[in-house]
Amino acid sequence: MVQDPDWWDRHHHFELLSAPVSGSASVTADGRQLLYAAPATRGADNFAYRAKDHRGLGVDGVARLVVYDDAMLATCRQNSTVTPAGVLATRTKSNGCAFYGQTTTRTTANGTPVTMDYFVNWPSSGTAPKAVVVLLGGGDFNMAIRGDLATGIGDITGGANNFVVRTAQLFADAGYLTVALDRPEPGPLVPPGSTDIVTATDLYRVSVDHSVDILAVLKSLDPRGLPVFLVGTSRGSMSVIAQNRIATGISTSSSATRDAGDQGRHLYVGRPDTPNLLPTFVQRPTHVLWHAQDACFGSWPTGSRALYDSLVAAGVDTAFHIATGGVQVTAPGNGSTPDVCGPLSAHGYLGIENDTIGQLTAWLDARIAALGHNRLPRAAFADVATPADTPRRIHLSALAHDRDGFGLAFELPGSATSLGGQAVLNGRTVTYTPPAGVTSGIDYFVYVATDRRGGVAAAVVSVKIGG
């Protein structure tokens, strides 16, 4: 996608610089759109183009595409099935219809670059998406998304069974640009006293680093100001609750609402000592989904119902759906084993994927309709610098604007920064204070702009300490 830094200048004109390798491409008569016709066979394709604004300033780019056929699309859309013996037979598998990418999102305290791997699924009809849906898996968040950056072709070796990852194309074909995220690399550090990567991942899910990574990936995809929804399943429910304020709305399924191990170190939605996991922290419209037969200890249906009730009591615009039926893996085989807390069970809505995602996307459609003709705010990323131990003020009104001209309100999802500094908001100005004793490095915090009409935009401020 192309976006002009002069946000008011949206009159791009395109020209082709090279033909696709296997398909064909053309420019519409008005020069405003590029049209691509896919070949009959699966594979990777690319072509070069130039985009110009009304003053003749231009930029060259390369469009890379992954082409799939009707047979692959059917696999991406199918409901999962099991054999009469309870062995997995077929499953919904969206990665064959996805584009693989990787983005460097930030650096660690010691300067190591952090990368995020992801899959992107587009509506197969070729229509423009109406919103972005970020898909956040459960467990230790290791979706094992890998691929070829040169072609965009990828595969999933570990997280392919995850409910929201495997159903990405179902969201896409309902009109949404879906982004399935993997755990960052290097991954979260296991805290002292624990040997459990799930505990480390839980702490990452509620940290500012998680929102920085999400927003950096979205920035690299340049979704043109589309609304952003966070959709998480199982332990991914903690991600969407803790990071709800960077989104237009959130959906949580099979929510982790009970302590599930590591001697009480595991987090869960509603844990009293973790403020951004409490229902009172949620400020965005929320959808709560659960399966009536979910037998997983950490996500019993009673917990999801209690979560819904707590959100309503907190004044959150909340809807719910209870799924029933489906199939379940009850015998090992075909690379799967029985697990009531795994995705190949009621916990993961096995065999009812299309109906379940249909219920969820109906709620998303309603949220889009509620926005009406409201044009969402724009929020810019910023890079600033400050000497060690010296506070720095950042004026958010210089970074964000409301395209409808009605003014914005600002908020910080939290005061803690990536390296342990502090960001405090006073009106439209943030005062950033570096962490004590840190003489160099890059710190991060997130700010959010809202237009009071349901529009939300979020961005990252990077602070170079000692610069």
- What is the average pLDDT value for the chain, to the nearest integer? 93
pLDDT band of 156, cuts 50, 70, 90: low
Q: What is the pLDDT of residues 304-341, one digit of tens each?
A: 999 999 999 999 999 999 999 999 999 999 888 999 99
Q: Give residue 4's pLDDT.
A: 46
How far are the Cα atoms of 93, 166, 348 from residue 90, in angstroms, in the given order?
9, 12, 14
Q: Give residue 10's pLDDT.
A: 52
Q: Give residue 8's pLDDT.
A: 42
pLDDT band of 7, cuts 50, 70, 90: very low
Pair 306, 422 in one domain:
no
Of the three residues 343, 371, 399, the one that is the final residue of a domain is 371
Average pLDDT over residues 166-189: 96
CA distance 78 to 177: 19
Pair 395, 311 in one domain:
no
Q: What is the pLDDT of residues 95-109, one digit of tens each?
A: 999 999 999 999 999
CB 307 within 8 Å of CB 257: yes
Pair 352, 382 in one domain:
no
How far are the Cα atoms of 83, 90, 337 from residue 334, in angstroms, in the given order?
11, 9, 9
Pair 198, 282 in one domain:
yes
Of the three residues 35, 52, 67, the one that is the final residue of a domain is 67
Pair 304, 448 in one domain:
no
Q: Answer yes or no: is 2 within a domain.
A: no
Average pLDDT over residues 28-56: 89
Pair 301, 350 in one domain:
yes
Q: Of 336 and 380, which is predicted with more confidence?
A: 380
Q: Give residue 268's pLDDT.
A: 96
Q: Answer yes or no: is 4 within a domain.
A: no
Q: How many domains does the chain have?
A: 3
Pair 394, 365 in one domain:
no
pLDDT beyond 60 at 49: yes
pTM score, whole prediction = 0.94
Of the three residues 347, 371, 395, the one that is the final residue of a domain is 371
Average pLDDT over residues 167-172: 98
Q: Which is nearest to 285 in space by CA: 349, 240, 218, 223?
A: 240
Pair 253, 146 in one domain:
yes
Range of the domain at 401: 378-465
CA distance 407 to 343: 44
Pair 436, 301 in one domain:
no
Pair 411, 426 in one domain:
yes
Q: Answer yes or no: is 1 within a domain.
A: no
Three-class HEC string of the chain: CCCCCCCCCCCCEEEECCCCCCCEEEECCCCCCEEEECCCCCEEEEEEEEEECCCCCEEEEEEEEEECCHHHHHHHHCCCEECCCCCEEECCCHHHHCEEEEEEEEECCCCCEEEEEEEEECCCCCCCCCEEEEEECCCCCCCCEEECCCCCCEEECCCCCCHHHHCHHHHHCCCEEEEEECCCECCCCCCCCCCCHHHHHHHHHCCHHHHHHHHHHHHHHCCCCCCEEEEEECCHHHHHHHCHHHCCEEEEECCCCCCCCCCCCCCCCCCCCCHHHCHHHCCCCEEEEEECCCCCHHHCHHHHHHHHHHHHHCCCCEEEEEECCCCCCCCCECCECCCCCCCCCHHHCCCCHHHHHHHHHHHHHHHHHHHCCCCCCEECCEEEEECCCCCEEEEHHHCEECCCCCCCEEECCCCECCCCCEEEEECCEEEEECCCCCCCEEEEEEEEEECCCCCEEEEEEEEEECC
Q: What is the pLDDT of residues 440-459, one digit of tens each?
A: 999 999 999 999 889 999 99
Pair 170, 282 in one domain:
yes
